[in-house]
Each structure stands twice: as C-alpha cells, then as structure tokens.
Structure 1
Amino acid sequence: MAADARRPRGLTLGRHTFADDATLMMAIVNRTPDSFYDKGATWAEDKALERVRHVVDEGAEIVDVGGIKAAPGAEIDAAEEIRRVASFVGRVRAEHPGLVISVDTWRAEVADAVCAEGADVLNDAWGGADPALVDVAAKHDVGIICTHTGGVEVRTRPYRIEYDDVVAAAVADCVAYAERAVAAGVDPDGIVIDPAHDFGKNTFHSLEVTRRLGELVATGWPVLVSLSNKDFVGETLDLPVGERLTGTLAATAVCALAGARIYRVHEVAETRQVVDMVRSIAGLRPPARAIRGLQ
C-alpha cells in the first residue's frame, strides 16, 4: 500500500503533528564515547543535554538520540544501551515538552524502555533486524522510521554488495517495512522511510539513491535522508570527516529538490538554510522578506 492511497494530511510523530508540506530538521545527539563524527563530545549526559539545548535554539524540530554507534566496535548489550539513553530521554522530555524525541535503535527491548520515558519516534537504522520493533511502536503509539540496508548484518560495513537496481531495492524494502508496521498497528501518519545512505551500500549506490530520491518520494511515504558527513560524501570528494560539510549540503540540496521531508543532521542551521533556499527556488516557500524593487 503506497501512502498516496491514504492521502495523509500531515505527519504525526508521537504527540506532535506537522503539516504535509513541513520540512523538519532532526539533530543528531550521540550518547556514545566513540561516535565517528564528534568523537564522544556528547558522551557525558550534561554535554548531551547542552547539545539538545543548542540544536533546539537553532530550530531543530526533532532530536535523534543514539546509544551505540553504527560502525563496528565494542559490543554494547541492550542493558547498556538502555542505561545510556532511557533516562536521558526522560530528562529531555521534561525540559523540552514540545520537542520530538527520536531514538536510534534496532532493539525492541531498548525501544520499549525509551518509549516509556517519552520518546516519540523509533529510528531503526538496520531495516527491521528486530521484527518486534514495529510491535513496540504500535504499543506506545509512536512513529517509526523504516530503512533499507540490503539485509546486511547489524553494525557491519558492506563488502562487495551488489544490486540489480539499488533504488528499486530501497523502494521495495522500505515500502514492505512500512506496510508491516501498518499491519502491526502503527499509525500510518507516523511512518517515515529512509533509503539509508551508506548502510548496505557503496559510494556509487549512495550517489544513485541521491540522484533518484524522487522515486522514494513518489511512494507517498514521507522520506528522511541521513547524509551528514557520510562516507559517500568523503569518498566522492576525497575528504576526511571534519571537512565534508560542503559536500553534505550539496547532497542535501538535491534531496530537498526531490522532496525529502526530514533531514538527520549534525549541522542544523546550515541545513535549514539550504533546504529553505531550495524550496523557495522551487516555488514551495515564499522568501522570508521581499522588499528589493518594491520600495
């Protein structure tokens, strides 16, 4: 069932509803000591809370809290992941009642714990590796992000993965995941799809997904893109992690023109400016002010 068939009036993430033409900034908040980008800058809980305050001031509508890095590394069991994120979600919820809180986890046990603390969205970066995650989302009436990873094992890097058509695979898998979530009882207006750049993909795959993102948008399900400082940007431009902002924003502009709705980012203000400018060029957003030649 494509989302077009149900004609959603907006996007509902937990207790928060957004207009059907709203674009949203999802700011990354890592509760890990070994994240690839910030190298543990928000590992301490107070530092993570400062990060939340900062991105809220910059205009982020969503924060995405993660307790385990996606790349291979130290084994983190569910109990430790819960320790890192659940009580923190409770602190954020108490301080920011109007903020959408997403948690980046593939584990149903962790999802249950964070939803009890006030999370609004489950961001499953691993394409349904735990099939019970949709049941948790339905139980707590929260949103879920359905990704395409090509079936790779959780926390592994892709190796010589091949697709007949990577975009067709992403469309098929994301839509199938979304339909499974609906069947489990998740509110269709709370379901988002994500082609998951870099996950189960080489750089050529991620570039093609970016170029053809409109095919995911055409399914009718709201599309999230997570482009920020990814390896496909670094490899394309031959740049290290700390020098990928310009490339990230170029990819962001392409995705904005194609109709992506949510942008998972490290740099909120810069991404918002790019998305707003693209939407204004496309005739979807008026200028913030327009006095030139008029007065």
Structure 2
Amino acid sequence: MGILNVTPDSFSDGGRHVAIHDAVETALQMQADGADIIDIGGESTRPYSEPVSADEERSRVIPVIDQLCGKLTIPISIDTSKGDVARAAIAAGAEIVNDVTGLEGDSTMPSVVVDHGVGVCVMHMQGSPQTMQDDPLYEDVVSEIESYLVARRQFCEACGIPRNRICLDPGIGFGKTHEHNLRLLRATRRFVALGSPLLIGHSRKGFIGKVLGDQRADRMAGTLGVSLAAAAAGANILRVHDVKPSVEALKLFEAAGGLDQRA
C-alpha cells in the first residue's frame, strides 16, 4: 500500500504532493513501482496535528481521486475518519476506507461502508492524534489491542460489513511508546492468527530512529527491515512511503527463502 498524503503537514511527506499534478504523478509512479493499493489521505494524523474540516479534506483528496480513477488499474483507499469524506471519495472511485479511529470517529461511517459495499481497514488508536502520545499506557499492549480488533470486527459484522471486506491494523505509532510498537511488531503472528487480512503501518515512524539511536537518521532502511519481518510473520498489507525499494526488498527476500518462515 503506497502512501499518498495530499496534506501540508504530514510527519514525513507533508507538502510534497499538495499540487494535484504532483500527487497524480506520484501515485502513477507508485503503481509502476509495484504498489497494489494507493492510500490517499487529506488530513494529517501525526502526533499533535490539527484536525481539518470535512470540506477542506474533500477539497484535497477528491480532485486527485477524480484524475487517478481513469489511470490507475489498482484500488484506491481513502484514509479518513469522516463519513462525508469517505462517501465523496467512494463516489469518485475509492474502493477501500482506511479509518484510523476503527469506525468510532464518525457514527455515519459504518453505513457508508455498508451502503457502498467497499472494504474497510479498522485500526486501533489510543486517544486522538492530539492526545495519543501524551502518556500511552497499557497493562498488556498486545492482548488489549488484540481484544479491541476482535471487538471492532464483530461490530463491523453486526453493522452488515462482511468479514471478507474487513482488514485489521494494530496502529503502530498511534498511542504507543517505542517499546509498545516493538512488542506489537513482534506479535505480528498473533494478529495474523485472528484470521483477517492484517495491515502494518510502520513506514518512517519514530521508533525506527529510536532503535537506530538517531532520530535524524534516514529511516528507509529501517522501514525495509521491519517490512521484511512483518512479511515473514504473515502480514498481508505493508503501508509504506517508499514503494520501489520495498517491492524490490520483498522480491529478493522471497527469492532467498525469507517468506518460507511464515506460519
């Protein structure tokens, strides 16, 4: 899943794809580089980011989706927690809703997903982007998030969303310390065992700099290392900024027998 943030303030690529032409060209290049999904977001969810209105978010993402729909041959995912934005994006051609609030942020979101028959990625986040990194606490981070994801899947099914359209995401970096993130990644097989497609969104995040001992380090190599570990553990979707090196690393990892480790 290639990340396309059409925002001025996302933590890693804010401002790079604000122009519609730039965003479209980037998405087409991601497809050429081997992406299977393009995830388009119009509101930053980095720690302490400021929320934007639905109108502003729509104005950022809809023109890009409109232009991409006749050019991409892979699905578009809309990264939003607002039902109105999701509805407009689906009308423009998006096929997946990627909701960082686990469909809890907007009471209309479940009906949007049901009414349009799209897929949904349900993520765990403790708090909101404005509060999630203040002091994230868990007694058992893996068990608590596992229970949360199972409960949200049950909620989605009760709303009428078929299980085969539900993807789960433990929410790396969303209301977690660096150690929480590492514990969750080491438990990837446990989340895979829940039986739904698993998305891991680790690309360029702060825990990588922590492990490397340098928060200013280029995090691409670290991202690739986590991608390989997650793939070996059975994760289905890797949400990344750097599609080409990720695809190439996975191709060689598989050729060398690395994916044979999967349960």
Same fold (TM over 0.5): yes
What is the 5 A alignment of 1:131-210? Answer: 131-150=107-126, 152-210=127-185
CA distance in structure 2 between the partners assigned to 1:170 and 1:62 by the alignment: 25
CA contact (8 A) 1:229 1:241 kept: no
Which residue does 2:206 correspond to in 1?
231
Which residue does 1:13 correspond to in 2?
none
Q: CA RMSD in A?
A: 1.8
Which residue does 1:86 correspond to in 2?
62
1:246 Cα deviation after fit: 1.3
Q: Does 1:66 align with 2:41?
A: yes
CA deviation string 1:135-165 (max 9, x = no partner): 2111111000011113x12443422221111
User: Structure 1: which amino acid aligns with 2:197?
Assistant: P
Report the CA distance shift for 1:162/1:259 in structure 2 as closer, same or farther (over 3 A). same
CA deviation string 1:269-291 (max 9, x = no partner): 22123333444414659xxxxxx
**What percentage of residue pairs aligned between the two structures are identical?**
33
Which residue does 1:3 correspond to in 2?
none
Which residue does 2:23 correspond to in 1?
48
CA contact (8 A) 2:125 2:132 kept: no
Instruction: Report the secondary structure of 2:70's partner residue.
Output: helix
Instruction: Report the secondary structure of 1:28's partner residue.
Output: strand
RCO higher in structure (CA 8 A, sep ≥6) = 1
CA distance in structure 2 between the partners assigned to 1:59 and 1:283 by the alignment: 18
TM-score when normalising by structure 1: 0.83
CA contact (8 A) 1:224 1:260 kept: yes
1:238 Cα deviation after fit: 2.9
Q: Which has the higher strand share?
A: 1
Q: Does 1:95 align with 2:71?
A: yes
What residue ranges of structure 2 are gaps of 5+ in the alignment? none
CA distance in structure 2 between the partners assigned to 1:240 and 1:188 by the alignment: 39
CA deviation string 1:92-123 (max 9, x = no partner): 11222x21100110111111111111110000
TM-score when normalising by structure 2: 0.92
Q: Does 1:32 align with 2:7?
A: yes
Which residue does 2:234 correspond to in 1?
259
CA distance in structure 1 between the partners assigned to 2:179 and 2:21 by the alignment: 39
Instruction: Report the secondary structure of 2:3's partner residue.
Output: strand
User: Structure 2: which amino acid aligns with 1:46?
Assistant: H
Which residue does 1:121 correspond to in 2?
96
CA deviation string 1:186-220 (max 9, x = no partner): 23211100111010101000000011111100000
Instruction: Report the secondary structure of 1:243's partner residue.
Output: coil
What residue ranges of structure 1 are gaps of 5+ in the alignment? 1-25, 286-295
Instruction: Report the secondary structure of 1:123's partner residue.
Output: strand
